[in-house]
């Protein structure tokens, strides 16, 4: 798996409520400060989440290999099938949440402060099952291929870039962003699940190729 192998999973990470929240924060009373706080919280939780998964998989792989517990299948094969199972569960979860709509509390973000936005990012990305499963699959697959920790960074950075799109839109368009951001929010809420399923299918296919080699 090359350096950018987990890159597309960032789309699944932000699709739905996390990105819609970023749009609302870009429309808040202090959009720059609130958005930067949100990005800081997201950076922390995504980095920690993928790192924990990477470390756990790496440790299990090393211990099982040293103990000769692979049996008929290699350790890599077991990890691949674990990732396949996680991805299948993730695909089902995304499908079931496809018509959930934005939460009602999003309308209360107008006066969000940076600290609150950071805590909100940590809660959204750290407590949502779909995001937990995404970080688990990315970290596990990276460790399965014996890639160093820094190979997680493209996933983390692209996740932050996607979440920063509303803020970048505000900075580039200025007053005109007031008309663009609502349309962006509606599009994300209506179509993100389809894109997420396509990305999960791609990642699942790549993992199955590893199993069949």
Q: Do residues 107 and 21 make contact, with C-beta atoms less than 8 angstroms apart?
A: no
Q: Is the pLDDT of residue 34 over 90?
A: yes
Largest CA-CA distance found in the chain, in angstroms, rounded: 63
For residue 108, give the H/E element and its range: none
The pair of structure tokens assigned to 108 is: 């209360």
Q: Do residues 106 and 27 make contact, with C-beta atoms less than 8 angstroms apart?
A: no
CA distances from 188 to 13, 181, 193 (A): 13, 10, 8
**pLDDT reported for residue 198:** 86
**pLDDT reported for residue 94:** 83
Q: What is the mean pLDDT of the chain?
A: 84
**pLDDT reported for residue 6:** 80
The pair of structure tokens assigned to 68 is: 């000769």
Q: Is the pLDDT of residue 72 over 60?
A: no
CA distances from 174 to 13, 26, 69, 168, 198 (A): 27, 11, 59, 10, 33
State the Cα–Cα distance between residues 24 and 28, nearest whole angstrom: 6
C-alpha torsion 168→174→175→177, nearest 10 = -20
**pLDDT tier at 27, thresholds 50, 70, 90:** confident
What predicted TM-score, i.e. pTM, was given to this entire model?
Answer: 0.83
Q: Number of helices (H) and strands (E), helices first, in the chain? A: 9, 0
Each residue's pLDDT tens digit, 96-121:
877 666 666 676 777 889 999 999 99
Each residue's pLDDT tens digit, 135-164:
999 999 899 888 999 999 999 999 999 999
């Amino acid at each position: 798996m090359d350096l950018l192998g987990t890159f597309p999973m960032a789309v699944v990470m932000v699709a739905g409520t996390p990105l819609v929240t970023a749009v609302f924060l870009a429309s808040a009373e202090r959009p720059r400060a609130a958005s930067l706080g949100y990005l800081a919280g997201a950076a922390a939780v995504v980095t920690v989440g993928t790192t924990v998964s990477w470390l756990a998989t790496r440790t299990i792989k090393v211990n099982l290999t040293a103990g000769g517990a692979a049996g008929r299948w290699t350790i890599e094969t077991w990890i691949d099938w674990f990732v396949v199972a996680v991805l299948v569960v993730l695909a089902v979860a995304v499908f079931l949440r496809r018509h959930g709509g934005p939460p009602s509390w999003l309308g209360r973000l107008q006066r969000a402060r940076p600290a609150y936005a950071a805590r909100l990012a940590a809660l959204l990305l750290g407590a949502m099952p779909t995001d937990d499963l995404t970080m688990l699959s990315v970290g596990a697959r990276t460790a399965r291929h014996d890639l160093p920790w820094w190979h997680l960074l493209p996933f983390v950075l692209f996740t932050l870039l996607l979440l920063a799109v509303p803020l970048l839109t505000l900075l580039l368009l200025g007053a005109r962003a007031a008309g663009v951001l609502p349309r962006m929010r509606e599009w994300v809420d209506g179509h993100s699940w389809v894109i997420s399923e396509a990305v999960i299918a791609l990642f699942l296919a790549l993992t199955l190729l590893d199993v069949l080699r």
